[in-house]
């Protein structure tokens, strides 16, 4: 998922600052939900040079859109859970469940 890393005479990988930046980027993109194939494509496009900037941007914008939708879904779920929690916490305090506020 990152460009090839140089090796020492003994065959061990020799990570340089640039390599570590690629590792950090790959980790960031994975945590953002990008599939391995998409990250590999991003690396490939980067290696092809500036003529692929628009393709790289499109790849990142698509993932941003997907993440924003996931965030919207999570916020909707959190709001519902928070409402349920408030209803049940109130029921524990008052000894009665307010069915007007309780949703299924």
Structural domain spans, the chain: 17-94
pLDDT of 6 reads: 87
Q: Give buried/exposed letters for 72-98 (b at 16+ CB in 10 A, else e).
A: eeeeeeeeeeeeeeebeeeeeeeeeee
Q: Is the model's pLDDT at 102 over the cut of 70?
A: no
Q: What is the pLDDT of residues 30-85, one digit of tens each?
A: 998 899 999 999 999 999 999 999 999 999 999 999 999 999 999 999 999 999 99
- With beta carbons less than 8 A apart as the criterion, state whether 73 and 83 touch: no
Options 1.10.1660.10, 3.40.50.700, 3.40.47.10, 3.30.230.80; CATH of 17-94: 1.10.1660.10
Over residues 20-37, mean pLDDT: 92
pTM above 0.75, yes or no: no
Closest CA to 18 of 9, 6, 10: 6
């Amino acid at each position: 998922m990152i460009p090839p890393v140089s090796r020492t005479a003994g065959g061990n990988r020799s990570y340089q600052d640039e390599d570590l930046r690629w590792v950090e980027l790959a980790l960031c993109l994975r945590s953002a939900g990008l599939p391995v194939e998409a990250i590999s494509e991003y690396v490939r496009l980067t290696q092809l040079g500036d003529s692929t900037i628009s393709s790289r941007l499109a790849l990142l914008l698509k993932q941003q859109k997907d993440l924003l939708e996931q965030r919207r879904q999570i916020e909707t779920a959190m709001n519902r859970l928070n409402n349920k929690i408030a209803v049940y916490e109130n029921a524990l305090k008052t000894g009665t469940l307010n069915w007007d506020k309780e949703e299924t």
